Amino acid sequence: MMGKGSIQIDHAKRDKLNSKSIGREIHYFEKLDSTNSKAKELAIKGAVEGTCIIASSQHDGKGRYGRTWSSPKSGIWLSVILSPDIEPERAPLLTILAGIAVARTIRELCDLEATIKWPNDVLIDQKKVCGILTEAICIGDEVRHMILGIGINANFDISELPEDVQNSATTLKNELGHVVSNDEFISNLLQNLDKCYKKLKQRKFRELLEEWRRLSTTLGREVKIRDGEEEIQGLALEIDEFGALIVRDRNGKSQRIINGDCIHISRS
Ligand code: BT5
């Protein structure tokens, strides 16, 4: 199925992408408001699971909690339509697996030490190179689809991001000092996503979480987590089988945190 204005990827390119389930159908756009919004639209119209929407730039890129995600040209802005048969409480594991796939791809292709900051960031040297936004499409009480949105600051200069973001962000181009092939990156990323998603479907949660722990830069740190009005400070101890962070607060009590903004206070 094709979205209006999309260019369906040709067969040669799809063979090159060589991904199994995720990316079996790919829609490329030069510009979009948001790949997550386009993915929702296509999911509701019946797009197959694994369909991937990729844009070269977004003019209304979305972060969590209604925030803006800056998406200049030559970044990698993509969303995947998924229908995992898992309990709704395990939905955060999609963000977890996407973080693993992105960090792995950066390490394999760029030889940079990418790490994961709970819940949805991939960092290089503590600077955000990727943000993940997982959204559910519900019909009544039932989760019909999950949209996994991944934004990677790839082939543009840091100066193209808003000034207030520049200090806490980086791009692959800035880290490497040269451009990377977005096609090659996407191809490898989709394969890594596919492998991780398979593990999720096979309910190999422990394996996934083991890899997340190895890549995590959050565990072992003093953190401050904000979720709306609530704020908890303490030591990030563990991640549980639902993707929640376990923090030992200042009273020595273990708190289970499902979502929020995480600030790293100390080095691990
Ligand atoms: C995220 O939100 O990090 C989720 C970002 C998801 C973006 C992808 S792109 C493909 C797909 N389609 C979409 O429309 N979205 C997804 P959050 O944790 O709330 O972080 C948002 C905050 O990060 C902003 O408030 C800024 O402070 C900062 N920010 C904005 N753009 C950035 C960028 N390009 N790089 C680094 N930080 C950025």
pLDDT in tens, 145-202: 999 999 999 999 999 999 999 999 999 999 999 999 999 999 999 999 999 999 999 9
Beta strands in 21-118 (DSSP E): 26-32, 52-58, 76-82, 114-117
Q: How far is the C-alpha of 34 from the C-alpha of 40, rounded, in Å?
A: 10
Whether pLDDT at 28 is above 80: yes
Other beta carbons less than 10 A from residue 164's beta carbon: 8
Put simply, whether the predicted model's pTM sits higher than 0.85 gets the answer yes
CB 151 near ligand 1, within 6 Å: yes
Return the closest-CA partner of residue 190 out of 89, 69, 102, 87: 102
Radius of gyration of the chain measured on its C-alpha atoms: 18
Q: How far is the C-alpha of 117 from the C-alpha of 195, rounded, in Å?
A: 21
CA 121 to ligand 1 centroid distance, Å: 9
Position in ligand 1 atom list of the atom nearest CA 63: 2
Instruction: Check residues 26 and 139 and name the one with the higher pLDDT.
Output: 26
- 99 touches 187 (CB < 8 A): no
CA 133 to ligand 1 centroid distance, Å: 8
